[in-house]
């Protein structure tokens, strides 16, 4: 995979949301090449809508990439085309696999991949609007024919593609967010896994230490969970986990998350406490529908009870609940 920075260890493939690297590029006054997988024939590691972003370094060297399409089959070649797009501004529509003009580039999984590569100027009004919607946690759609780009707030499927003339609309949801309240090893394991999984992770620890946790999180807060959620705001792209093991903290946080329409709400605790907790929520005014959405004793049975095993099961549930393919696909 020549032509890519750190290609021997392609950690750039861990970045699934290109808006972070795009914001960095625009802040540095650099153009970027946005590559979108807009059609898949047969089997493929990524589905339509997957994206990569390429930025040329200011002082020479290899192009910087974020995201991936195939795991190592085509990324280097897409990077080469991205350099050309950055240089001349002309979009490219690339075809790999079955029926491709590049017979020397083979896809291990068979099938075919179709990719649009377009240049985003440093002063792109559409890109700036895309980032504003992300900061405001609003869904939006990126419309492009490869040259003309605009952003709208209308709803729709993850990807729409039209031919003759070619046009593409790709939906962007707000970044996935995880809010964990608690400070024991299990709660901290969930928070760290969330951060590693590219969630915007916020750790709440009522009256916790002044110093933040010894691993990166987007924000650390020490107040009451219900009050913190009122400040942060909640939406369907937010997951909340009550893990203080103190009902006066966890029940208030869960009720606020449920009423805010969080996409996932869970509370760690023994199954023997479930009935009393549901009763307390009902007494606090939670509706039957809200109580039914609460995941008590969350996680995947059979993984084990160590902090990392429990956290892995909970993160699997959260990822499934917030998977954009489950919404308006």
Are residues 117 and 139 part of one domain?
Answer: yes
Domain membership of residue 4 (yes or no) is: no
What is the count of structural domains for the chain? 2
Are residues 123 and 253 part of one domain?
Answer: no
Are residues 34 and 15 part of one domain?
Answer: yes
Domain membership of residue 115 (yes or no) is: yes
Are residues 201 and 145 part of one domain?
Answer: no
What is the Cβ-side half-sphere exposure of residue 12, based on CA atoms within 13 angstroms?
27
Q: What tens digit of pLDDT does each residue of 206-240 get?
A: 999 999 999 999 999 999 999 999 999 999 999 99
Those residues of the chain that have pLDDT short of 50 are 1-2, 327-329
Write b or e for each residue in 14-39: b if 16 or more Cβ atoms lie within 10 A of its Cβ, otherwise e.
Answer: ebebbbebbbebbeeebbbbbbbbbb
Predicted TM-score (pTM) of the model is: 0.90
**Residues of the domain holding 292:** 177-323
Q: Give dist(CA 323, CA 215) in Å, integer.
A: 25
Q: What tens digit of pLDDT does each residue of 166-187 get?
A: 999 999 999 999 999 999 999 9
CB atoms within 10 A of CB 312: 17
Are residues 164 and 110 part of one domain?
Answer: yes
Are residues 187 and 165 part of one domain?
Answer: no
């Amino acid at each position: 995979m020549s032509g890519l920075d750190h290609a021997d260890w392609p950690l750039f493939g861990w970045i699934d949301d290109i808006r972070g690297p795009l914001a960095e590029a625009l802040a540095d006054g650099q153009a970027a090449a946005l590559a979108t997988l807009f059609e898949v024939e047969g089997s493929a590691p990524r589905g339509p809508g997957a994206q990569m972003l390429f930025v040329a370094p200011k002082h020479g060297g290899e192009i910087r990439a974020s995201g991936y399409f195939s795991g190592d089959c085509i990324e280097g070649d897409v990077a080469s085309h991205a350099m050309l797009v950055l240089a001349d501004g002309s979009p490219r529509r690339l075809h790999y696999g079955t029926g491709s003009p590049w017979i020397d580039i083979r896809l291990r999984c068979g099938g075919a991949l179709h990719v649009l590569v377009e240049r985003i100027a440093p002063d792109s009004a559409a890109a700036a609007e895309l980032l504003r919607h992300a900061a405001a946690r609003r869904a939006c759609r990126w419309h492009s024919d490869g040259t003309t780009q605009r952003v709208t707030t209308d709803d729709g499927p993850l990807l729409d593609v039209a031919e003759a003339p070619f046009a593409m609309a790709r939906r962007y949801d707000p970044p996935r967010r995880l809010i964990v309240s608690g400070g024991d090893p299990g709660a901290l394991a969930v928070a760290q896994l969330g951060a590693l999984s590219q969630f915007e992770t916020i750790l709440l620890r009522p009256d916790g230490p002044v110093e933040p946790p010894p691993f990166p999180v987007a924000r650390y807060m020490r107040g009451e969970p219900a009050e913190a959620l009122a400040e942060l705001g909640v939406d369907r792209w937010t997951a909340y986990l009550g893990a203080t093991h103190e009902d006066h903290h966890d029940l208030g946080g869960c009720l606020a998350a449920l009423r805010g329409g969080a996409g996932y709400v869970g509370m760690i605790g023994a199954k023997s406490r479930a009935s009393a907790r549901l009763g307390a929520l009902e007494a606090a005014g939670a509706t039957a529908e809200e109580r039914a959405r609460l995941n008590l004793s969350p996680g995947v049975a059979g993984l084990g009870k160590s902090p990392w095993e429990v956290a892995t099961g909970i993160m699997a549930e959260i990822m499934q609940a917030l998977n954009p393919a489950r919404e308006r696909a």
